[in-house]
Amino acid sequence: MKKQIDNIWIGQKDLTREDDFMNTAEKEFAEEQVSFADMTSNLSGNRRDFLKFLGFGLGAATVAAGCDIPVKKAIPYVVKPDQIVPGVANYYASTFVNGGDFCPVLVKTREGRPIKIEGNDLSPITGGGTSARAQASVLSLYDTNRFTGPKLKDGAGWKDTTWVELDKIVSTTLQSSRNIRLITNTNMSPTAKKAMTEFTTKYPNAKVVTYDPVSCSALLDANQKNFGTRAIPTYKFEAADVIVSFNADFLGSWISPVEYAAAYAKGRKIDDITKAKMSKHIQVESHMSLTGSNADNRILVKPSQQGVAVAHLYNEVVGAGVSVTGLNDKAKKALTKIAGELKSTSGKSLVVSASNNVNEQLMVNAINHALGNYGATIDFSTPSYQRQGNDAELKACVEEIKAGSVDLLLVCGANPVYDSAFGKELADSLSKVKNKISFAQVNDETTDLCDVVAPNHHFLESWGDVEVKKGHYSLIQPTISPLFSTRQAELSLLVWAGSTGVDVTKEQPYYEYLKESWKSGMFGGQSEFSTFQSFWDSVLHDGVYSSGSGSSPSYASAEIGSDITKPSASEVEISFFETVHMANGQYSGNPWLMEMADPVTRTSWGNYLAVPVNFDGVRTMVGLNDLVDGDLVELTIGTKKMVVPVVQQFGQMHGTVSIALGYGRTQAGNTGSNVGVNVNDCLTMGPNGPAYYNTSATVSAKTGKEDDFSCVQYHHTIGVKGIDKESGKEINADEAALVFFDYFTGVKGFQGALTDRSVIYTSNVTELKGRVEHLQERRKHAQHLNAQQIYGGFDDMYSLGHHWGMHVDLNACIGCGACTVACMSENNVPVVGKHEVSRHHEMTWLRIDRYYYGDVENPNTIYQPMMCQHCDNAPCENVCPVNATNHSSEGLNQMAYNRCIGTRYCANNCPYKVRRFNWLDYTKADIWPANQPRLQEESVPFMADNLTRMVLNPDVTVRARGVIEKCSFCVQRIQEGKLTAKTEGRALRDSDVRTACQTSCPTGAITFGDMNDKKGALHAKLESPLNYIALEEINVRSSVTYTMKVNNRDKSLDA
Amino acid sequence: MIYKHLKIKSIATILFMWMTLTLSAAVSADAGKELFKNNCAACHSKDMRSAATGPALGGSQARWADDVALYKWIRNSQAMIQSGHPRSVELWNQYKPTVMTAFPKLTDDEIGSLLAYVNGVYDGTYGPKKDVAAGAGAAVKTEEKSQLPLYLIIAAVLAVLALLLTKIISNLNQIAAAKDGEYVEAKTISQILTSKGVVTFLIFAAIILGAYTTVNKATELGRQEGYAPDQPIKFSHATHAGVNKIDCQYCHDSARRSKHSSIPGTNTCMNCHAAIKNGSAYGTAEITKIYASIGYDPATNKYIENYESKTEDEIKAIYTKWIGDEYKRVKEKADLDSEGERIVSTQWADIKKSLTNDRKKQIQGPIEWVKIHNLPDHVYFNHAQHVTVGKLECQTCHGKVEGMEVLKQMSPLSMGWCINCHRQTEVKFKDNAYYANYTRYHEELASGKRDKVTVADIGGLECAKCHY
Which residues of chain A make contact with B294, given a CB cutoff of 8 A? 78-79
Quickly list DSSP for A344-360: HTTTSEEEEE----HHH
Residues 947-966 of A with CB under 8 A from B: 955-958
What is the CATH number assigned to the segment(s) A573-709? 2.40.40.20
Which residues of chain B make contact with A69, given a CB cutoff of 8 A? 222, 224, 374
A98-116: average pLDDT: 94
Residue pLDDT, tens place only, A326-361: 899 999 999 999 999 999 988 899 999 999 999 999
Answer yes or no: is B437 within a domain.
yes
Residue where a domain stops, chosen among B368, B403, B430: B368
Q: How many CA atoms lie within 13 A of A394 on its CB side?
A: 32
Range of the domain at B85: 31-125
Contacts of A14 (CB under 8 A, 6+ apart): A21, A714, A717, A720
Q: Residue A305: left (phi > 0), alpha (psi -120 to 50), or beta?
A: alpha
Note whether A252 and A579 are within 8 A (CB): yes
Do B303 and B338 sit in the same domain of this protein?
yes
Question: What phi and psi values does residue B272 have, to the nearest 5 degrees?
Answer: -100, -40
Q: How many whole angstroms separate alpha carbon A596 and alpha carbon A599? A: 8
Q: Which CATH class is domain A226-384?
A: alpha beta
Residues 968-997 of A with CB under 8 A from B: 968, 971-972, 975, 978-979, 981-983, 985-988
Could you tell me if B217 lies within 8 Å of chain A, comparing CB atoms? yes
Note whether B429 and B445 are within 8 A (CB): yes
A280-295: average pLDDT: 95
Answer yes or no: is B167 within a domain.
yes
Of A975, A978, A985, the CB nearest to B433: A985
Residue pLDDT, tens place only, A808-836: 999 999 999 999 999 999 999 999 999 99
Note whether B253 and B399 are within 8 A (CB): no
Contacts of A705 (CB under 8 A, 6+ apart): A630, A631, A632
Is a pLDDT exceeding 90 seen at residue A956?
yes
A604-617: average pLDDT: 86
Of B222, B258, B440, the CB nearest to A800: B440
Note whether A764 and A273 are within 8 A (CB): no
A1010-1026: average pLDDT: 93
pLDDT for position B184: 67
Contacts of A861 (CB under 8 A, 6+ apart): A288, A293, A294, A600, A651, A815, A850, A851, A852
Chain-chain contact of B265 with A898 (C-beta, under 8 angstroms): no
Q: CB burial class (10 A; 0-12, 13-18, 19+) of residue A808?
A: buried
Answer yes or no: is B351 within a domain.
yes
Note whether A206 and A180 are within 8 A (CB): yes
Answer yes or no: is B225 within a domain.
no
A978-1001: average pLDDT: 94
Chain-chain contact of A73 with B369 (C-beta, under 8 angstroms): yes
Is a pLDDT exceeding 80 seen at residue A756?
no
- The better pLDDT of the pair A27, A636 is held by A636
Chain-chain contact of A801 with B263 (C-beta, under 8 angstroms): no
A304 vs A152, A285, A564, CA distance in Å?
45, 10, 10
A917-923: average pLDDT: 89
pLDDT for position A749: 53
A199 vs A166, A187, A207, A502, CA distance in Å?
17, 15, 9, 13
Do B418 and B408 sit in the same domain of this protein?
no
Do B248 and B290 sit in the same domain of this protein?
no
- The better pLDDT of the pair A263, A25 is held by A263
Note whether A614 and A623 are within 8 A (CB): yes
Do B337 and B277 sit in the same domain of this protein?
yes
Of B366, B388, B464, the CB nearest to A76: B366
Q: Which residue is closest to B366 within chain A, CA to CA?
A: A78
CA-based nearest residue to A933, from A779, A638, A708: A708
Note whether A217 and A392 are within 8 A (CB): yes
CA distance A903 to chain B (A): 19
pLDDT for position A748: 55
Chain-chain contact of B371 with A988 (C-beta, under 8 angstroms): no
pLDDT for position B16: 47
Architecture of domain A151-214+390-520: 3-Layer(aba) Sandwich (3.40)
**Where in chain A are the domains?**
151-214+390-520, 226-384, 573-709, 720-756
B159 vs A768, B151, B204, CA distance in Å?
85, 12, 17
Do B250 and B399 sit in the same domain of this protein?
yes
B246 vs A672, B101, B249, B305, CA distance in Å?
57, 20, 8, 31
Answer yes or no: is B132 within a domain.
no
Residue pLDDT, tens place only, A542-554: 999 998 777 889 9
**Across chain A, what does the average pLDDT equal?**
90
Which residues of chain A make contact with B439, given a CB cutoff of 8 A? 800
pLDDT for position B335: 87
A1028-1054: average pLDDT: 92
Q: Quick one: pLDDT band at residue A691, thresholds 50, 70, 90?
A: very high
Residue where a domain stops, chosen among B343, B368, B393: B368
pLDDT for position B424: 93
Answer yes or no: is B461 within a domain.
yes
B304 vs A505, A612, B321, B323, CA distance in Å?
22, 75, 15, 17
pLDDT for position B350: 94
Chain-chain contact of A71 with B370 (C-beta, under 8 angstroms): yes
A917 vs A725, A780, B338, CA distance in Å?
31, 35, 69
Q: Give the best residue of B374, B443, B468 to mutate against chain A (max A CB count within 10 A).
A: B468
Chain-chain contact of B462 with A894 (C-beta, under 8 angstroms): yes
Q: Which residues of chain B have pLDDT under 50?
A: 1-29, 129-144
Which residues of chain A make contact with B437, given a CB cutoff of 8 A? 800-802, 987-988, 1012-1013
Look up residue A895 and give its amino acid. Answer: M
Do B216 and B338 sit in the same domain of this protein?
no
Do B198 and B284 sit in the same domain of this protein?
no
Answer yes or no: is B226 within a domain.
no
Residues 177-216 of B with CB under 8 A from A: none
CA distance B163 to chain A (A): 37
Do B45 and B101 sit in the same domain of this protein?
yes
Length of chain A: 1055
A249-263: average pLDDT: 95
Do B190 and B113 sit in the same domain of this protein?
no
Q: How many whole angstroms separate alpha carbon A775 and alpha carbon A911? A: 21
DSSP reduced 3-state for A769:
helix
pLDDT for position A615: 72
pLDDT for position A178: 87
Residues 337-356 of B with CB under 8 A from A: none
pLDDT for position A58: 76
Q: Give the best residue of A800, A876, A1010, A1013 to mutate against chain B (max B CB count within 10 A).
A: A800
Give, rounded to a whole angstrom, the gap between the first and last alpha carbons of chain A: 12
Residues 798-827 of A with CB under 8 A from B: 799-802
Least confident of A736-745, A956-965, B324-333: A736-745
Do B275 and B360 sit in the same domain of this protein?
yes
Q: Residue A962: left (phi > 0), alpha (psi -120 to 50), or beta?
A: left
Do B324 and B280 sit in the same domain of this protein?
yes
If you compute the radius of gyration of chain B from its CA atoms, what whole number of angstroms results?
A: 31
pLDDT for position B141: 41
Answer yes or no: is B179 within a domain.
yes
Q: Give the best residue of B230, B367, B463, B465 to mutate against chain A (max A CB count within 10 A).
A: B463
Is a pLDDT exceeding 60 seen at residue A248?
yes
pLDDT for position B25: 35
Please state whether the predicted TM-score (pTM) of the whole model is above 0.90: no
Q: Per the structure, how many domains does chain B have?
A: 5
Instruction: For chain B, give the longest Cα–Cα distance.
Output: 109
Do B114 and B180 sit in the same domain of this protein?
no
